[in-house]
Amino acid sequence: MITHIQKHPMLVMVVGIIGVSLSAIFVRFSQAPSAMTAAYRLVWTVLLMTPAVFGKKEVRKELRQIRKKTAFLSGLSGFFLAIHFALWFESLQHTSVASSTTIVCTEVIWVSLGFWLFLKGKIPRLAVIAIAITLAGSVLIAFSDSSSDSQLYGDCLALLAALAAAVYMLIGRVVREKTSTTVYTYLAYSVCAGVLVILCLVQGMNPIKYGWSGVIVGLLLAVFSTLLGHSIFSWGLKFFSPSFVSASKLCEPVVAALLAVPLFGEYPSLLALLGGGMILGGVYWYSRIERKTASQ
């Protein structure tokens, strides 16, 4: 089985693309509030990861020897990840799947700007043009949804979710220099789950009140969107170039938008399609420029 998978890695990548693309669709089917749906996802993710984490001697050793600063930064990263999920899941209740998922894809642009501002990184001149195109696309989507206050509000939430995800990624970049992926993600996911649970409790949410839909959706998100989604992209780096993996992630809003047509009857306007195309094109172009610069 493993040999067959290694001979056909592209099939596995397709599973990963479908997995992350289902994220927005699953959220729409949840009857629970957005924060609670997000909490279910992260709690399930941590529960599913725990046996694998503590089942490895080297991981247990690393956890015992982890520095306080590293633990703090991992927790801070998890806090911003919680903000990302809470905002993005809520945005899907107000705007279209196509608009929300496409705007969230601008995360990589905000990561680059943060890297330049706070980590003294450099942005190539051509990359500045790619960033400008991406931002222009976001403005077009917002303009196409401006006739509805609810949709515009959802677009703004998606943009804030992308910013929160960028902070999560930037902190993770610092932590990952001396920490394994397994330990870092487990700590970040654990804190993320805890923050979301506290957020639900503060708002007086009762998990029993909303039935099993949120629990089931959370499990589906953990399995398909996290373990069979983002984890597969990480696995794919063994067989494909980082540029190809980055480009594969851009299929998420396209697939999600196509699924939203028959499921929710959401047909994007021509202006939204143009804006979405500009965002995806700008992000893809930026990814190519960044990888080319890194290889020089």
**Amino acid at site 44:** W
Which residues fall within 8 angstroms of residue 267, CB to CB, at 6 or more apart?
261
| Domain, as residue range, for 210 | 2-295
User: How far, in Å, CA of 140 to CA of 6, rounded?
Assistant: 42
Distance separating alpha carbons of residues 115 and 102, to the nearest angstrom: 22
- Side-chain half-sphere exposure of 17, counting CA atoms within 13 A: 19
**pLDDT for residue 154:** 94
Query: What is the per-residue pLDDT for 218?
Result: 94
Is-contact 105 280, C-beta < 8 A? yes
Residue 85: both structure tokens together: 């999920």
DSSP state letter for 177: T
Please name the amino acid found at residue 68: K
Per-residue pLDDT tens listing for the chain (296 residues): 555 556 667 788 888 889 999 999 999 999 899 999 999 999 999 999 999 899 999 999 999 999 999 999 999 999 999 999 999 999 999 999 999 999 998 887 888 888 788 777 777 788 888 888 888 888 888 888 777 888 899 999 999 999 999 899 889 888 888 888 889 999 999 999 999 999 999 999 987 788 888 899 999 999 999 888 877 876 775 677 655 676 677 788 888 988 999 999 998 889 889 999 998 888 888 877 776 766 65
Per-residue confidence (pLDDT) for residue 296, from 0 to 100: 59
Q: What's the domain count of the chain? A: 1
One-letter amino acid at 241 equals S
The tokens for 17 are 């693309």
DSSP per residue over 1-64, as a string? -HHHHHH-HHHHHHHHHHHHHHHHHHHHH--S-HHHHHHHHHHHHHHHHHHHHHT-HHHHHHHH
Cα separation, 10 vs 236, whole angstroms? 9
Please tell me the distance from the alpha carbon of residue 199 to that of residue 81, in angstroms, as a whole number. Answer: 13
- Report d(CA 295, CA 73) in Å as an integer: 29
0.75 cut: is pTM over it? Answer: yes
Asked if residues 179 and 74 have their Cβ atoms less than 8 Å apart, the reply is: yes
8 Å CB contact between 111 and 253: no
The span from the CA of 157 to the CA of 122, in Å, is 28
